[in-house]
Amino acid sequence: MILGAKEIYRLIKENKLVVHPLFDDTIRENGVDLRIGGEYAVYTHSGIVVNPCKLNDSEMRRLFRTVSEDEIPIPPKSFVLLTTYEYVKLPDDVVGLVNLRSTLARLGLIIPPTIIDAGFEGNVTIEVVNVSSNTIVLKKFMRFLHVVLARTEGAVPYEGKYKGQTGVRPPKGLKEEC
């Protein structure tokens, strides 16, 4: 079941769902809109071979440079890792289905299918890809994500490496998993 605005307000009032800070335009008809945070990450190298199965967390982090700027230029055919300004905490029985706001998608930006797991808390890091032939400039604090909240049954609360993250977070290495 997708949660509407009245249920989202109820969960926030009961402190079961946290979106901090909460702005007047955060809660929408069927979800929440989140803003771009104060930093983003870009690859430090170009044209190299990246094999996540051969990299641990610190080696993976070295592939990215974190930038703190008010404007985020996304060149054609490239991507950035953005973080949300808001810190979110989902209840153990609610997941977030993350979508890019359609206005930005109409410019040529896309994000991969993304789910915020039940029980997750932290700033959300999201990959934004520019598939257009133009550089698109985003701004800190602009609404960029729409998260549809849905109830889930039998979920195991998220306890992964990204729980509690603040700011933008490069990917983890997969060396231990491969």
Q: Is 53 left (phi over 0), alpha (psi -120 to 50) or beta?
A: alpha
Catalytic, out of 7, 71, 127, 159 = 127
Q: What's domain 5-151's architecture?
A: Distorted Sandwich (2.70)
* Per-domain residue ranges of the chain: 5-151
Q: Is 60 left (phi over 0), alpha (psi -120 to 50) or beta?
A: alpha
Which token pair is 47?
């044209």
Please say if 86 is a catalytic residue: no
Torsion of the alpha carbons at 129, 130, 135 and 140, rounded to the nearest 10: -40
Q: Is the pTM of this model over 0.85?
A: yes
Please enumerate in sequence order all residues whose Cβ is within 8 A of that of 86, keeping only pairs 6 or more positions apart, or say none: 19, 20, 21, 22, 26, 34, 35, 123
Full pLDDT tens readout for the chain, 178 residues: 999 999 999 999 999 999 999 999 999 999 999 999 999 999 998 889 999 999 999 999 999 999 999 999 999 999 999 999 999 999 999 999 999 999 999 999 999 999 999 999 999 999 999 999 999 999 999 999 999 999 999 888 888 888 999 999 999 999 988 9
